[in-house]
Amino acid sequence: MAKPKRAILLAVVLALCAGCAKARPPAVARERGERTRAAAALERRVRGIIGATSSLKALAWMEIDSGEEGWRTDAAVVIARPGRLRVDAMDALADVWASAGSDGRSMWLYVPGKRKLYEGRATPRNVARLAGFGIEPADLVSLMAGSPPLGEGDRVLEASGRTFVFPGSGLRCTLLKGRIHRCVKPSDDDAGLDYEVSFDDYRRAGGVKLPHEIRASFPGRSSGLTLRYKELELGGDIEDEDFAPPRRRGIRTHRYSR
């Protein structure tokens, strides 16, 4: 009789373990999905946008809400993927009242009226210091260029409900009329959102349809960014100097250590 009892006990333990497994939350739920034809087709479209926007120059309307204050301004935007960015904020007379940029390694903000320059490494922490919201600088460049971040080896997956997963960045994106409309990035513990971004007003530029309105919100900091492109020029050479901070006499420089 000992063997049957052991068998029954083993079956009970296995059943309890199975119940425990079902009770556990899904491991990294935001990366669940499968490789389908729809996922492969979406990946091709996103890579097409990334290729078309390897560099761009644009005039835009920009709104930045940092939680405590906000800025609304015309701006000249220069982007060179994967991580170079420059924004010149302009007044009604097209005079630049603030400039910010990154060469992918470091980033800076210059305020001509105060002759102050703020510099630091290109990190989410320093993005938050300068703009009020934290995000990987390369991810910010990709979003401003009109697409979710997608690394060389990343593969888009299709989850339930026609939601598509970008495992490399953790983004989950939904489509509207066949185009990416809304993406959310869950926090590491899946308890909330790092940020949410929407892509709207798709118009043709440089042979591809690109979103001309991009809105990002960062719930943890009650901050956000809105970008509406007025004119877009894709491709062309962009000089390294475009992403370098000004170096002139009389400028007071504040450096962030990290």
What DSSP string describes 186-220? E-TTSSSEEEEEEEEEEEEETTEEEEEEEEEEEGG
Alpha-helical regions (H) of the chain: 2-23, 37-52, 124-131, 137-144
Residue 107, pLDDT score: 95
**What is the rounded distance in angstroms from the CA atom of residue 106 to the CA atom of residue 111?**
17
Query: What is the rounded radius of gyration, in angstroms, for the C-alpha atoms of the chain?
Result: 23
pLDDT recorded at residue 258 = 64
Q: What is the pLDDT at residue 188?
A: 76
In this prediction, residue 14 carries a pLDDT of 31
Residues 6+ apart with CB under 8 A from 177: none
Separation CA 74–CA 183 (nearest Å): 26
All residue ranges of the chain with pLDDT < 70 are 1-31, 258
Sequence-distant (6+) residues with CB within 8 A of 51 are none
State the Cα–Cα distance between residues 79 and 59, nearest whole angstrom: 12
The predicted structure's pLDDT at residue 32: 73
User: What is the per-residue pLDDT for 94?
Assistant: 87
**Cα 200 to Cα 125: distance, rounded to the nearest angstrom:** 28
CB 238 within 8 A of CB 102: no
Task: Give the per-residue pLDDT at 53.
Answer: 95
Distance between CA atoms of 201 and 226, rounded to whole angstroms? 13
Q: Rounded to whole angstroms, how far apart are CA atoms 236 and 163?
A: 35
pLDDT given at position 132: 82
Asked if 238 contacts 244 with a C-beta cutoff of 8 angstroms, the reply is: no
Question: How many whole angstroms separate alpha carbon 74 and alpha carbon 228?
Answer: 10
pLDDT (0 to 100) of residue 31? 54
Q: What is the pLDDT of residue 27?
A: 37
Per-residue model confidence as pLDDT tens digits over 42-94: 999 999 999 999 999 999 999 998 777 788 999 999 999 999 999 999 998 88
Residue 11 — φ and ψ, nearest 5°? Answer: -65, -40
What is the model's pTM?
0.83
152 vs 154: CA distance, rounded Å? 6
Q: Which domains occur in the chain, in start order?
A: 33-255 (2.50.20.10)
- What's the pLDDT at 83? 94
